[in-house]
Amino acid sequence: MEPTNVKQLLKKKPKANLGFYPTPFYRLENLSKKLGIDLFIKREDFSGQSLFGGNKIRKLEYLIGDAKEQGAEYIFTFGATQSNHALQTVEACRKEGLTPILYLVAYVEPDENDLRSNLLLDRILGAEVHVILKNPGESDAEVDARSVKLAREHMARLTEKGHRCYEIPMGGASPIGTTGFIDGFVEIVEQAKAVGQSFDYLIHATGSGGTMAGLVAGKKLLDHPMRVVSFDVIGHDASYLENSAALANESLEQLGAADRLTADDFEHDNNYYLPGYEMPSDAANDAIRLLAREEGLFLDPVYSGKAFAGMLDYIKKGIIPQGSPVIFLHTGGATALFAEKEILGNLLEK
């Protein structure tokens, strides 16, 4: 399918105008020379209406569009206390006249007397924020499930009073949200064509899976040879790729496309997220410093720093061969550089 045909499918979906697209796309001259590859960067951190954009804005254009079509008043969503998705959802709600309600899990417990980064911005924006503390012995999956349960009870109370609520899952990872990165993949292909370059690799960080599902679905629709390599920022079990394929397939079905994915269509690596979500790694902090000092650009320690570290290791090991043309998708989140010290680790020690 040609990009113009995919765009015609996308036009069928309700969409809010939240982002500034296309986002910048250009070559990293210093690092290309240093690393021996042809490295371009796609600046999804420049996507949003505020200084604090990121990859979630593309998803939210379709999610908020759907919410408004359904007559929603309240938007509920989830994440960690420093969630980029939660912040971008609040920004989108404020622009579109909706009321944002957040249920956020404290993987790193915030100090209410010294709020930082995204949680501070959520409060400035006037979001209703519910911070969920982990109980002793409670797993990440259990506390996430408890957060959703509490939010749905809240939604039920509002619904009983005659209000319309709309639930956006963590990371915007729904079939509707995934549509945003089918759109995004088309944009990347068109930008690559405009600079006369054919790319072998598209590198990005993956958490809840919606961005990954959309990119791979877009690749499938266009029958494009570029490899989408996704570096996990949280531990995932064997069901992750099956669930991502199902997410992509439902999104494709909603667009009326016949293409379908399986788990084998995904290429992801779960070896670079440790010691855990919102826990810094030495390799990610080295990657943050490298990009900052070579190109004057900032990554974050939770998402893009770990994906960039994975890419650097692939280059070092020859998994990405010398001379390869590579795109790094900067998903935003540099506000995490102003988060709690537990998230930053040894970033300032070198």
- Catalytic residue (choose from 83, 117, 244, 304): 83
304 as an active site residue: the answer is: no
Structure tokens, 173: 């990872």
By C-alpha distance, which of 334, 302, 340 is closest to 109? 340
State residue 161 phi and psi, 5-degree precision.
-90, 5
Instruction: Output DSSP code: residue 78.
Output: E
In this structure, the dihedral spanned by the alpha carbons of residues 239, 245, 249 and 251, taken in order and rounded to 10 degrees, is: 90
Structure tokens, 112: 């209410």
Instruction: Output DSSP code: residue 147.
Output: H
Angle (nearest 5°) at CA 233 between 147 and 305: 125
Sheet with 74-80, edge to edge strand ranges: 128-133, 99-106, 74-80, 165-167
State residue 267 phi and psi, 5-degree precision.
-125, 105
Q: Which residues are catalytic?
A: 83
